[in-house]
Amino acid sequence: MAEVRLTVNGTDVALEVEPRLTLVDALRHRLGLTGTHVGCEHGVCGACTVLLDGAAVRSCLMFCVQAQGHEVTTVEALGEVDDLHPLQAAFRRHHGLQCGFCTPGFLMSAYELLREGADGGLGDDRLREELSGVLCRCTGYAGIVEAVQEVAREYPDGLPAPKALGRPITVRRSVPPPGEEQALAAASAAAAARGQAAGAQTHVQVAVPEGEPNETVAVTTAISPSPVQTWELMADFMRLTRCMPGVELNTDHGEDTYSGRVGVHLGPMRLSFQGAARVLERDGERRRLRAVASGRDASGSGVQADVTVSADPGGGGTGTALRAEAKLYLSGRAAQFGRSLAGDVSRGLFTEFGACVERTLTTGEAVTPRRLSGAAVAWRLVRARAGALWRRVRGPEGDAP
Amino acid sequence: MKAAPFRYERPLELVSALTLVRDPEAKALAGGQSLVPVMAMRLARPQVLVDLARIGELEGIERRDGELVTGAMVRQRTLERFAGLEHELPLVAAALPYVGHREVRNRGTVGGSIAHADPSAELALVAATLRARIEARSLERGREISAAEFVRGPFQTALEPGELVTAVRWPTAGPEDRFAFAEVARRHGDFALCGVAVHLRRGQGRVALARVGLLGVAAVPVVHEVAEQLDGAADPAAVAADVAGQLEPAGDMHASAGYRRRLARVLVERCLRQALGGPSGG
């Protein structure tokens, strides 16, 4: 716990908080200031906008501890029920709200915008851009823009200060509601039991993913060992997977099924997928291996993969063209955040995989792949793009117009 | 969506912060506009969060010979409102309004955005296009890294463990320099589908320098040198088509690869024409 002292709406307050408590949760739950709303909790909707030392900020993207010594102004300070701030009055006149959820965000964002006065007025386009940090799902924005535009015209030299400053604020203690502690303890015991049960389970099943994958990648690496040598390593699945950065298979469940974890580090993001893999096909003649894998991360992200690795004679009659083709199925947060990165990241992983297979075969030792977070691997990824070591499997839309 | 528990540290001196970030489980917190959301989603769970907000050495904007030096913790909004920015760093001035929203730029920092290395970050693109220098420090040493070599992959930089960005040194514009910036996103402030920055320099009737930087179309900002083509009297449309033809953007739910490449072609042409001073095409 950390002690935080800050000024909220002109009143000095001190409270003990867990460092991970966001400013908006502190305002609402510890200071009882529920005028600030919290919507998306990741900086998209803008409902939680407050003023920090006069600047409009998203209070869900700040921890309360960061506000130490600062001055926070919330919508409660703007006006009183029978003495509205001109911005509030204009929102009411122009129907700038319906459900009211986004309203505190719009009011505080607009307050910062017009506080010093809109010198020479604001065009509608510019105003819409300035207000784009807050989302409204009811009004279609027309009333909001009209309200703010009217206030901008009425107060060219700046807005009246907030009217309701210096009210007493009661700091509430952070105590879980009665029964919650027991409920939490029971839930965590149940989760532990489930984990144990899963660990003890000997019959692990890995389904073949179905439907349209989020991403398809194909990476071909030219390596110096012969296809026959390469196949020897491919035939030993657990040893082969050690060449994949972040993969740690530790249990052989029989029937060519294995379990373990896959760690992916990407800047600040760290995912750790617990899961299993099953070999579906081993074709020694064509030196082809197909496996499916699935895993889940504690963040609620899921990944499934259908991977085929093949070792064909290399170009020019020497070495091997080691080809990895993967269909990836992402779900949960990783898919939400991933944008178009899953392909880039997997290509980087498979490129390092190819390099590691080469090192393993030429040194005859168990070689650990470099982590993707290492600059070397990432740089390889960039070079791979430039040098077209791989070719993205393109859909019909991939062609240049 | 609540962050996992962490220990919070708020050092007052750079050397204390550098000591704290040696812990591999520690993460530096600058403006938090990218880090806090991924913590809320629990895609990141640092055990120690090192808040850089009280370190005076990371603050301030300074004019030095031919460059503007911005401390790592300078807020994007502070830079946006810096008097004279549109003359000294026109490309930065043109790109900043595209960074998130006003509310995000009030907190977001210049150094934080550079160090986060999001593939669609405007400041990283502008830094790479202008060949800005990134100042980095660890307990052992201080060094400078060219922005063109700083971003190594999505969210991957040339920073080594225990190293922090301390400042960015931006070369200021000379009388012969021309710039243009354009970007298309689904919604204002959203991650860009494609963004283009152009830096052009004329000298003695020739195109002495022409750099085209692109974001959103690769894992890292991409910079193309096109001075020779333009100097050889190539049409901006032909240069744009050539640049776009070399891209291999990935498609996702927001835009297909083909659409991104087309967007790149249109925006590059538009920016080149603007920087050359002709009518904007596309």
Query: Sign of the C-alpha dihedral, residues A322, A327, A331, A335?
Result: positive
Identify the pLDDT of residue A388.
31
Identify the pLDDT of residue A339.
59
Average pLDDT, chain B: 94
The mean per-residue pLDDT over the stretch B88-99 comes to 97
What is the least distance, in Å, from the CA of A164 to any CA of chain B?
Answer: 23
Identify the pLDDT of residue B281.
43
Domain B60-171 fold: 3.30.465
Identify the pLDDT of residue B203.
83
Q: What amino acid is encoded at B16 in this protein?
A: S
The radius of gyration of chain A's CA atoms, rounded to the nearest angstrom, is 29
The backbone torsions φ and ψ at residue B178, rounded to the nearest 5 degrees and listed phi first, read -130, 150
Torsion of CA A195, A197, A199, A205, to 10 degrees: -110
B38 vs A337: CB contact, 8 Å cut-off? Answer: yes
A47 to chain B: nearest residue by CA?
B103
Domain B7-51 fold: 3.30.43
In B, which residues are within 8 Å of A67 by CB distance? none
What percent of chain B lies above the pLDDT cut of 70? 98
**Domain spans of chain B, in order of start:** 7-51, 60-171, 177-276
In whole angstroms, what is the distance from residue B267 CA to residue B244 CA?
10
B103 vs A299: CB contact, 8 Å cut-off? Answer: no
Region of residue B148 (phi > 0: left; psi between -120 and 50: alpha; otherwise: beta):
alpha
What is the least distance, in Å, from the CA of B223 to any CA of chain A?
Answer: 12
Instruction: Return the CATH architecture of domain B177-276.
Output: 2-Layer Sandwich (3.30)
Q: Going from the N-terminus, what domains does chain A have, and what CATH number goes with each?
A: 2-154 (3.10.20.30), 215-395 (3.30.530.20)
What is the least distance, in Å, from the CA of B192 to any CA of chain A?
Answer: 11
Kindly report which listed range (A59-73, B95-109, B231-245) carries the lowest average pLDDT score. Answer: B231-245
Residues B193-215 pLDDT 10s: 999 999 999 888 889 999 999 99
Residues B172-185 pLDDT 10s: 999 999 999 999 99
In A, which residues are within 8 Å of B224 by CB distance? none
Q: Which among B156, B223, B248 is the top mutation candidate for probing chain A, defined by the most A β-carbons within 10 Å of its own β-carbon?
A: B156
Q: Which among B33, B43, B145 is the top mutation candidate for probing chain A, defined by the most A β-carbons within 10 Å of its own β-carbon?
A: B43
Task: Write the CB contacts of B40 (distance below 8 Å, at least 6 apart in sequence).
Answer: A41, A42, A60, B1, B2, B3
Identify the pLDDT of residue B282.
43
Query: Residue B164: pLDDT band by 50, 70, 90 thresholds?
Result: very high
CA B88 to chain centre: 17
In B, which residues are within 8 Å of A345 by CB distance? 154
Task: Spell out the SS3 assignment of chain A.
Answer: CEEEEEEECCEEEEEEECCCCEHHHHHHHHCCCCCCCCCCCCCCCCCCEEEECCEEEECCCCEHHHHCCCEEECHHHCCECCECCHHHHHHHHCCCCCCCCCHHHHHHHHHHHHCCCCCCCCCHHHHHHHCCCCCCCCCCCHHHHHHHHHHHHHCCCCCCCCCCCCCCCCCCCCCCCCCHHHHHHHHHHHHHHHHHHHHHCCCCCCCCCCCCCCEEEEEEEEECCCHHHHHHHHHCHHHHHCCCCCEEEEEECCCCEEEEEEEEEECCEEEEEEEEEEEEEEECCCCEEEEEEEEECCCCCEEEEEEEEEEEECHHHCCEEEEEEEEEEEECHHHHHHCCHHHHHHHHHHHHHHHHHHHHHHHCCCCCCCCCCCHHHHHHHHHHHHHCCCCCCCCHHHCCC
Identify the pLDDT of residue A386.
35
What is the least distance, in Å, from the CA of A50 to any CA of chain B?
Answer: 9
Residues B24-63 pLDDT 10s: 999 999 999 999 999 999 889 999 999 999 999 999 999 9
Query: Could you tell me the mean pLDDT of each successive run of 10 residues in chain A, 401 residues long?
Result: 96 97 97 97 96 98 98 97 96 96 98 88 89 94 96 95 95 75 78 65 80 90 94 93 92 93 87 93 95 89 93 89 94 70 82 92 76 44 35 32 36
A133 vs B101: CB contact, 8 Å cut-off? Answer: yes
Identify the pLDDT of residue B67.
97
